[in-house]
Structure 1
Amino acid sequence: MTKVVADITISLDGFVTGPDAAPGNGLGTGGEPLHRWVFSDDPDDKRILAAATERSGAVVMGRNLFDVIDAPDGWSDELGYGATEVGKPPFVVVTSAAPSSVRLTGLDWTFVTTGLPDAVAAARSLAEAASASRGADLDAVLMGGGALIGSALAAGLVDTLVLHLSPIILGAGTPLFTGSAPRQLVQREVVATTTATHVTYDVG
């Protein structure tokens, strides 16, 4: 069964990037250590990254994140979705207007201009089609940024939340939760490694 999974790395004080995140500075000032776990040799980190990439039947991102990864110093053949895994599921971008050009033409892009719920619905449809084709349950994964995942949680669009807690306090940056309504989650799995604590929640 296809689920909508929000999956993101976060600092201990709740930021998904450092300050001044932008194309050319995707993780913000001082934010690079957030993703140390994705390049780790720890067997659990490697397993979690590979499993997350493999289960992605379609991926949703916001326009700011798209601009970061499609910039000249963004994703490449060596580093892309899933870091060195370089997965190639269909990608759905929530945006007010489609870009005039795309650098990463080898990837499957859909630009949705009618809002986040429509983008999530499109990704779920793509993931269900991929599941049927592959004969395995694949998910629609929300990879970010923080505002997109926060909005999706607030709108009740998320089934599962996966947080990779990086042992860093950034002090400022892009927050994941801003003015969210109270919500009780069900903790399903916790895996502690040398570089992060990976926590999976069912969203009620």
Structure 2
Amino acid sequence: MTRVVADITVSLDGFVTGPNPGPGNGLGDGGMDLHRWVFSDDPEEQRLLHDGSARSGAVLLGRSLFDIVDGPQGWSDEIGYGAAEVGRPPFFVLTSAPPSSVRLSELDWTFVTTGLTDAVRAVRERAQEVSAERGHDVDAVLMGGGELIGSAVNAGLVDELILHLAPVLLGSGTPLFRGAPRRSLVQRDVLVTRNATHLTYEF
């Protein structure tokens, strides 16, 4: 079964970026500290990255995050989703209007302009197609940013939530949840590595 999985790194005080995020400063002031586990040479953390890429049948991101990763200082062959990994999935971007041009034109981009529900449906359907092509289940992954994931969780569009809890206090920045409705989750897994605690929940 194709699941919708939200996967994001968050600080101990609940922020997914530091203050002042934007092009050239994608994770905000001090935000790179969140992702020490991503750039670590720790074998367990590298395994988590590999497994995350392998399970990604299609990936959804918001427009602000797209503008950062497609910007001049964004993703490259060395840094980016799937870089040096098992492959690069198709990407969907939730936006009010498609960009006039795309720097990372070698990647498969689809721009969804009809709202969050349609975007999640599109990424799930594409992941189902990839599952059929590969002969095993892969996931529809929501990679962020925080507003997209928070809104999708609040709207009940997510099956599984994976949080990489970084031992960092940012003080301010982009919060993961704003005005979330009260609800209980089922904790499925906890893995402690050198640079983060990795938590998996189901709804």
User: For this structure pair, what is the TM-score category when the shorter chain's length is used for normalisation?
Assistant: over 0.9
Looking at structure 2, the residues matched to 78 and 152 of structure 1 have their Cα atoms a distance apart, in angstroms, of: 29
What are structure 1's unaligned runs of at least 5 residues?
none
Paired position in structure 1 for 2:105: 105
**Which residue is 1:54 aligned to?**
54
Residue by residue, what CA displacement relative to the aligned partner does 1:106-164 show, whole Å, maximum 9, x if unpaired?
00000000001101111011100000001111000000000000000010000000000
Deviation string for 1:52-104 (max 9, x for gaps)? Answer: 11000000000000000000110011111045538410000000000000000
RMSD of Structure 2 on Structure 1 (CA): 1.0
Task: Give, in whole Å, the separation in 2 of the partners of 1:37 and 1:87.
Answer: 20
> Any conservation in 1 of the 2:13–2:170 contact (CA below 8 Å)?
yes
Query: CA contact under 8 A between 1:62 and 1:145: conserved in structure 2?
Result: yes
The 5 A counterparts of 1:16-27 are: 16-27=16-27
| Count of aligned pairs | 203
Q: Which residue of 1 aligns with 2:170?
A: 170
SS in 2 for 1:38: coil
- Aligned partner of 1:116 in structure 2 is 116
Determine the C-alpha separation between the residues in 2 that align with 1:63 and 1:86: 25
Q: How far apart, CA to CA, are the structure 2 residues paired with 1:76 and 1:106?
A: 11
> Partner of 1:191 in structure 2?
191
Decide whether the 8 Å contact of 1:65 with 1:145 is kept in 2. Answer: yes
Cα distance in 2 between the residues matched to 1:190 and 1:145: 23
Aligned to 1:41: 41
Matched, 1:201 2:201: yes
1:132-147 matched pairs, under 5 angstroms? 132-147=132-147
SS at match of 2:179: coil
**8 A Cα contact 2:54 2:86, kept in partner:** no
Q: Sort the Cα spacing of 1:173 and 1:27 in 2 relative to 1 into closer, same or farther, 3 A.
A: same
TM-score (norm 1): 0.97
Q: Residue 155 of structure 1 corresponds to which residue in structure 2?
A: 155
When residues 83 and 71 of structure 1 are mapped into structure 2, their CA distance, relative to the original with a 3 A threshold, is same
**Structure 2, unpaired ranges of 5+:** none
Q: Secondary structure at the match of 2:69?
A: helix
TM-score normalised over the length of structure 2: 0.98
**Cα deviation 1:149-184 (Å, max 9, x = unaligned):** 000001000000000000000000000011111110
